[in-house]
C-alpha cells in the first residue's frame, strides 16, 4: 500500500513539473543580452548555440511579435510576454536555463495565434498539445516535450512561425522555395 502511494505522489509531482506548475518566479531576471546586438546578429549568434537559454528565447519571441526587442532585461520581456498570454503566470523562469521544446511550442503557438485541433480548442493550450500541433503543422520537428532546443531548431521555428503570421500558412521544408 505504501509503495502505491509513493508511486502516485511521484507521478503527481512529475505531472506538475511537466505542466509547468510553479509560483511564476523569475531567476536571474536582470540578465541582459549582448550589448549592441541587432536582431539579425542575435539570430545569427543563437543559430550556433547547442542549447537556447530562456533569456534568448524570450528575445526572439518579442522580435517575432514586434519586429524588434526594445527591452533591457529578461524580467521586462517576461512581463511583456505574460501580458500577451505568451508565457503563463505560473511558469518559473530562469534566464540561463535551456528552453524546452514544450515551452517553445507553447509560446510560439500562442504568439502566432494558430488555431489548433480539437484538444487545443476544448482544453486550451498546453505544452504537450502545442508541441503536437507544431509538429503536425511542420513548424517544429520530431522530439520530446522536455528536450532542450538547439539554436538552429529555434531559429527555424521562429522563421516558420513568422511565415505563418504573415501568410496563414507554414512553408514546406523544400516545396515552397522559389524556383
The alpha carbons of the chain give a radius of gyration, in whole angstroms, of 17
Q: Which tens digit of pLDDT belongs to each residue from 24-34?
A: 676 666 666 55
In the predicted model, what is the mean pLDDT of residues 38-48?
Answer: 85
CA-closest candidate to residue 26, choices 73, 75, 60: 75
* pLDDT greater than 80 at residue 8: no
Give me the pLDDT at residue 23, please: 57
Angle, helices 101-111 vs 151-167, to 10°: value is 20
pLDDT digits (tens, 9 = 90+) for 157-172: 999 999 999 988 887 7
- This prediction's pTM: 0.78
**Residue 10, helix vs strand vs coil:** helix
What is residue 83's predicted lDDT score, i.e. its pLDDT? Answer: 96
Cβ–Cβ under 8 Å, residues 103 and 127: yes
Nearest to 144 by CA among 128, 156, 159: 128
Query: Directed axis angle between helix 101-111 and helix 127-137, to 10°?
Result: 70
| pLDDT in the model for residue 117 | 79
Q: What mean pLDDT is predicted for residues 123-130? A: 91
Tell me what pLDDT residue 43 has: 86
pLDDT band with cut points at 50, 70 and 90 for residue 13? very low
Amino acid at each position: 500500500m505504501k509503495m502505491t502511494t509513493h508511486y502516485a505522489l511521484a507521478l503527481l509531482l512529475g505531472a506538475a513539473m511537466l505542466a509547468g506548475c510553479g509560483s511564476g518566479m523569475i531567476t536571474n531576471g536582470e540578465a541582459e543580452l549582448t550589448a549592441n546586438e541587432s536582431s539579425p546578429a542575435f539570430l545569427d549568434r543563437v543559430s550556433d548555440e547547442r542549447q537556447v537559454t530562456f533569456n534568448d528565447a524570450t528575445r526572439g519571441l518579442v522580435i517575432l511579435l514586434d519586429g524588434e526587442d526594445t527591452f533591457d532585461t529578461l524580467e521586462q520581456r517576461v512581463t511583456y510576454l505574460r501580458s500577451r498570454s505568451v508565457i503563463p503566470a505560473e511558469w518559473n523562469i530562469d534566464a540561463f536555463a535551456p528552453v524546452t521544446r514544450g515551452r517553445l511550442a507553447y509560446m510560439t503557438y500562442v504568439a502566432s495565434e494558430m488555431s489548433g485541433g480539437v484538444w487545443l480548442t476544448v482544453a486550451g493550450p498546453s505544452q504537450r498539445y502545442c508541441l503536437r500541433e507544431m509538429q503536425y503543422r511542420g513548424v517544429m520537428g520530431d522530439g520530446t516535450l522536455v528536450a532542450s532546443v538547439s539554436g538552429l531548431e529555434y531559429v527555424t521555428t521562429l522563421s516558420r512561425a513568422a511565415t505563418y503570421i504573415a501568410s496563414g500558412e507554414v512553408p514546406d521544408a523544400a516545396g515552397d522555395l522559389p524556383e
